[in-house]
């Protein structure tokens, strides 16, 4: 999949601005950004549900908006199943089989059995977690090559969530699917993704392989006899402050900054493991919204 310079305006307001990246088979890509940054609009545009104001999406060199038949290779799973609540499982299977020629009913039933989901007269009678689970495994059964997930684990209990995440990783590995996931659960994304795309105010702020991203910064904990020296305060990205202890990020390999920290004679200095959440704070300005 090639996402080529997509922009989207809604009511004359720019929601997406010149989004450009590629998606390779066998990859899991996390779409990360603060609330209102355009993540869901991006996924809907990639699925062909929304038509971009500019730019387009290509699969195997074909524009999905000029060749709508190619959309059968894409499935979008929204964060809400409200639109499906009055359908029975049988009706939804019939619907999906008519949209996706490679829909595998036997595979769907095997997954329903695995996750103890019974056929039902109305999807709305499932619990919230069961609804999320059913739409997710239905997506895998479509035979689509590109699966777009918006908050896929919302409503799932811890045990089922782990099973679903494991299933997702297995499917990508075995069938060479490509999955794009928008989620505020950064700890879950860190378990799954190969790459992370950070969206800020409708633009791609950065796009990294996960391992490369973590090697860009160093997370350290510092303590001072009093307040952190002003010479450092303006140069360090402070993640947390508890009493006299500061948790900060610094660019890895920044010798002048490390020397400045050493010269300030901290009472305590320790390097900590770097997480995706830490990088989110560094790139997007705060942990308040994801």
The CATH number given to whatever domain includes residue 98 is 3.40.50.300
Same domain? 174 vs 127: yes
What pLDDT is stored for residue 177 in this prediction? 92
Same domain? 202 vs 238: no
Reply yes or no on whether the pLDDT at 288 is more than 80. no
Within 10 angstroms of residue 164's Cβ, the number of other Cβ atoms is: 20
Domain boundary, last residue among 148, 180, 212? 212
Predicted confidence band of residue 174 (pLDDT cuts 50, 70, 90) = confident
Same domain? 155 vs 229: no
What pLDDT is stored for residue 285 in this prediction? 64
Same domain? 159 vs 270: no
Count: domains in the chain = 2
The CATH number given to whatever domain includes residue 232 is 3.30.70
Q: What is the pTM of this model?
A: 0.84
Lowest mean pLDDT among 6-10, 24-28, 164-168: 164-168
Per residue in 107-159, pLDDT (tens digit) is 999 999 998 999 999 998 998 888 888 888 999 999 999 999 998 887 778 88
Same domain? 9 vs 89: yes
Q: Say if 22 falls within a structural domain.
A: yes
Handedness of CA 223, 224, 230, 231 (dihedral sign): negative
What pLDDT is stored for residue 13 in this prediction? 94
Eight-state DSSP code of residue 13: E
Same domain? 64 vs 208: yes
> CA 87, CA 160: separation in Å to the nearest integer?
23
Same domain? 143 vs 231: no
Instruction: Please write down the long-range contacts of 17-22, taking CB distance under 8 Å and 24 or more positions apart.
Output: 17/201, 17/202, 17/203, 18/55, 18/203, 19/55, 19/199, 19/202, 19/203, 19/204, 20/55, 20/204, 21/197, 21/204, 21/207
Average pLDDT estimate for 172-198: 88
Same domain? 193 vs 246: no
Same domain? 86 vs 206: yes
> CA 116, CA 40: separation in Å to the nearest integer?
30
Closest residue by Cα to residue 30 from 261, 176, 185, 177:
185
What pLDDT is stored for residue 64 in this prediction? 96
What pLDDT is stored for residue 128 in this prediction? 81
Greatest distance between any 2 Cα atoms in the chain = 70
Range of 262's domain? 217-284
Per residue in 202-242, pLDDT (tens digit) is 999 888 888 777 778 889 999 998 888 888 877 888 888 88
Reply yes or no on whether the pLDDT at 287 is more than 50. no
Same domain? 15 vs 74: yes
Average pLDDT estimate for 27-44: 92
**What average pLDDT does the chain have?**
89
Q: In what order do the strands lie in the sheet with 237-242?
A: 237-242, 245-251, 217-223, 268-272
Q: Say if 173 falls within a structural domain.
A: yes
* 37 Cβ neighbours under 8 A, 6+ residues apart: 199, 200, 201, 202
Reply yes or no on whether the pLDDT at 178 is more than 80. yes
């Amino acid at each position: 999949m090639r996402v080529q310079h997509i922009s989207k305006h809604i009511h004359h307001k720019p929601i997406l601005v010149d989004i450009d990246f590629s998606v390779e088979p066998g990859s899991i890509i996390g779409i990360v950004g603060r609330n209102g940054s355009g993540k869901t609009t991006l996924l809907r545009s990639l699925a062909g549900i929304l038509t971009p104001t500019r730019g387009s999406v290509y699969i195997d060199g074909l524009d999905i908006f000029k060749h709508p038949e190619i959309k059968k290779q894409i499935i979008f799973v929204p964060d809400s199943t409200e639109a499906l609540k009055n359908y029975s499982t049988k009706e939804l299977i019939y619907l999906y089989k008519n949209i996706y020629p490679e829909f595998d009913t036997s595979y769907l039933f095997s997954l329903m059995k695995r996750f103890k989901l019974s056929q039902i007269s109305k999807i709305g009678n499932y619990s919230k977690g069961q609804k999320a689970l059913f739409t997710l495994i239905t997506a895998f059964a479509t035979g689509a090559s590109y699966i777009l997930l918006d908050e896929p684990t919302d409503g799932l209990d811890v045990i089922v969530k782990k099973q679903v995440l494991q299933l997702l990783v297995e499917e990508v590995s075995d069938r060479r699917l490509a999955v794009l996931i928008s989620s505020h659960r950064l700890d879950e994304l860190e378990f799954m993704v190969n790459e992370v795309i950070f969206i800020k105010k409708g633009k791609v702020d950065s796009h990294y392989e996960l391992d490369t991203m973590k090697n860009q910064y160093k997370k350290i904990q510092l303590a001072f006899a009093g307040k952190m020296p002003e010479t450092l305060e303006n140069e360090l990205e402070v993640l947390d402050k508890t009493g006299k202890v500061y948790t900060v990020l610094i660019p890895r390999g920044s010798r002048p900054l490390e020397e400045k920290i050493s010269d300030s004679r901290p009472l305590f200095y320790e390097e900590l493991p770097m997480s995706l959440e830490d990088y989110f704070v560094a790139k997007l300005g705060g942990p308040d919204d994801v």
